[in-house]
Amino acid sequence: MSYFKDKRILITGVGSGLGRRMALGMAREGAMIIGWDISGEALEKVLEELKLASGREHAGYVCDVSNRASVYETAEKVKHEAGPPDSLINNAGVVTGKRFLDCDDKEIERTLGVNTLALFWTAKAFLPGMISRNQGHIVTVASAAGLVGVAKLADYCASKFAAFGFDESLRAEFRQIAPNVRTTVICPFYITTGMFEGARTHFPWLLPILSESYAADRMVAAIRRQRPRLLMPYLVYTIPLLRLMPVWVFDRIANFLGINVSMEDFKGRRNS
């Protein structure tokens, strides 16, 4: 029997990209998907795809996850209509892709609101139930940019560094108060979802831009196995070791790998 069979899985940013791919994969394994997205049109389309893929109805809610009141209101609807989720996958994300001083205040607030603060609002809404049942799973889709700073991603990196620390702190708390509530943090390099359209890599064989299907499949597998951490590609696992080196060495390696020019041709679609 699949780990996902009859589990209620709430996924934010389900309308496109990784959220859509993960939802379809989990639905095919028997999960009941509770999809959140800011776009009602995208949400309706995904719900139709999910029904065709799984032969069952799934739930969808329009929600701006950066808006605390919207999250709390929508969470109450979910609890009463679809039932409390067994797993919460915080997948929604945005990127500006500009140099720091070119980002206006609203763009910075939006990045932190969607990529960071939303994690707090959704967790506060659903964690009490998970803790009382001593059963649940919080999944945080962070980024390799949550482990290393990148030029033209100051706001995005800051938001994902925070997401990584948020997951680590929750994991420590759960060991003390609810050991059967698990966490998974996922830190991928650029993915071909459109969100990072135009981003590039110097060494595709070493630091490849990941295909959407490959990344989603690995993420679903990590969640299925309740792995505490998934970094993609494997080179990302070396970042903590590289931080043991002097800063100038670390910076030279990052420059050699092309990390700090990877966003020079960025176009993006600004959301996922």
Read off the amino acid at residue 201. T
Residue 43: alpha-carbon gap to chain centroid: 17
Rg (CA), the chain: 18
Respond yes or no: is residue 237 known to be catalytic. Answer: no
CA dist 256 and 58 (Å) reads 47
- Angle, to 10 degrees, between the axis of helix 154-177 and the axis of helix 118-133? 10
Which of 3, 61, 72, 156 is labelled catalytic? 156
**How far, CA to CA in Å, does 250 sit from each of 102, 254, 259?**
26, 6, 12
CA distance 257 to 46: 37
CA geometry: angle 254, 259, 260, nearest 5 deg? 95
Instruction: Cite the active site residues.
Output: 156
